Amino acid sequence: MKQTERAPEEFLPLTPAVFHILLALADRERHGYGIMQEIAGRTQGTVHMGPGTLYGSIKRLLADGLIAVAAERPDPDQDDERRRYYRLTDFGRRVMQAEAQRLEQLVQVARAKRVLGGAAQIGGL
């Protein structure tokens, strides 16, 4: 009757919003607007996450233990208001990795079926 932690796979597939948030926190902790900026910057503005989507997702990610509140402090790039910073937990990182692997497998299938171009075309991008 061993009871172990939930498996990261139980959370898959992630919604695009959640996956984007986890990716935004992959390299460092960020506050809410920092997450929005990171996503908008990385996708050249094609993905824009509003505050409702952002905080609705943050709420559930906190409840499931995928992210945690890191600190409350001002952001030197913004103003002197204190901001709540979020960070990825180890478990969140595992879930993110599992999702990335799942997507990679799908992409491999797409490549094998020539839905996507081969490596040469990627190299040309």
Partner 1 sequence: MTHKPHMPQRISPAERCYRLLLLLYPHAFRQAYGPEMIQTFRDWRRDARRHGGLPATIKLWGQLLADLVRTAPIEHVRAVAQHLTLKEEPAMLNTYPHLRVASRTDTGRLRDHNEDCLTYVIPDDSQRMARKGAIFVVADGVGGHDRGEVASDIVVRTVQRAYYEQENAEDIAAALVRAIQAANAEVTRQTPPGSRMAATCTAAVICGDTAYIANVGDSRTYLLRDGQVQQITRDHSLVAELMRAGVLTEDQAQTHPMRHFITRSLGGGATVEVDVFREPVREGDVLILCTDGLYGLVEAEEMAAMVAQYGPQESAFRLIECANERGGPDNITAVVAQIADVTRLWKVTSWNV
Q: Which residues bind partner 1 (CB under 8 A)?
A: 1-5, 31-33, 36-37, 48-56, 58-59, 65, 68, 76-81, 83-84, 89-91
**Cα 14 to Cα 95: distance, rounded to the nearest angstrom:** 9
Q: Which is nearer to partner 1, 16 or 117 (CB)?
A: 16
Q: Which is nearer to partner 1, 75 or 103 (CB)?
A: 75
**Cα 32 to Cα 21: distance, rounded to the nearest angstrom:** 10
Q: Which is nearer to partner 1, 13 or 50 (CB)?
A: 50
Q: Tell me, what amino acid is at 123?
A: G
Residue 7 Cβ vs partner 1, minimum distance, rounded to whole Å: 12
